[in-house]
Amino acid sequence: MAVLRRSLALPVVLALTLSACGPTAGVSGDGDAPLDALASFYPLQFVVQAIAGDAVDVGSVTPPGAEPHNLELSPAMVSDLAEASVVVYASGFQPAVDEAVIQVSPDHVIDVAGSANLQTADGSSLDDGSGTGSADPHFWLDPQRLAAVAEQVQTTLSEIDPDNAATYGANADQLTQELSALDEEYRTGLAACARDTIVVSHEAYGYLVTNYGLEQMGIAGIDPEAEPAPARVAKIQRVIEGEDVTTIFTESLVNPKVAETIAADLGIQTAVLDPLETLADPSSDYLTVMRSNLTALQEALGCE
How does pLDDT run across 42-54, given as a tens digit for each residue? 999 999 999 999 9
Average pLDDT over residues 77-97: 96
In Å, what is the CA distance from 216 to each residue of 10, 15, 171? 37, 45, 34
With b for 16 or more beta-carbon neighbours within 10 A and e for fewer, the 182-211 pattern comes to bbeebeebbeebebebbbbbbbbbbbbbeb
Tell me the residue type at 274.
Answer: D
Report the pLDDT value the prediction gives residue 11, as an integer from 0 to 100: 37
Residue 249 β-bridge partners: 200, 271
Domains and CATH numbers, the chain: 6-186 (3.40.50.1980), 191-301 (3.40.50.1980)
Predicted TM-score of the model (pTM)? 0.85
Q: Give which of 297, 258, 243, 257 is closest to 274, Cα–Cα.
A: 297
Contact 103, 14 (CB under 8 A): yes
- Angle among Cα 97, 30, 172 to the nearest 5 degrees reads 65
| Position 33 confidence tier, pLDDT thresholds 50, 70, 90 | low
Count CB-CB contacts under 10 A for residue 233: 15
Give, in order, the Cα–Cα distances in Å from 276 to each of 1, 106, 141, 251, 271: 26, 26, 8, 9, 15
pLDDT score recorded for residue 259: 94
C-alpha triplet 285, 41, 177: angle, nearest 5°: 45
Helix (H, G, I), strand (E, B) or coil at 109: strand
> Quick one: DSSP state of residue 105?
-
pLDDT at 32: 58
Residue 131: the pLDDT is 43
Give every CB contact of residue 118 below 8 A, 6+ residues apart in sequence: 90, 92, 126, 135, 136, 137, 139
Task: Decide: 73 and 10 in contact? Cβ < 8 Å.
Answer: yes
Q: Report the SS3 class of residue 21.
A: coil
What are the pLDDT digits (tens) for 49-76? Answer: 999 999 999 999 999 888 898 899 999 9
59 bridge partner residues: 38
Q: How many CB atoms lie within 10 A of CB 151?
A: 16
Question: Whole-number mean pLDDT of the chain?
Answer: 87
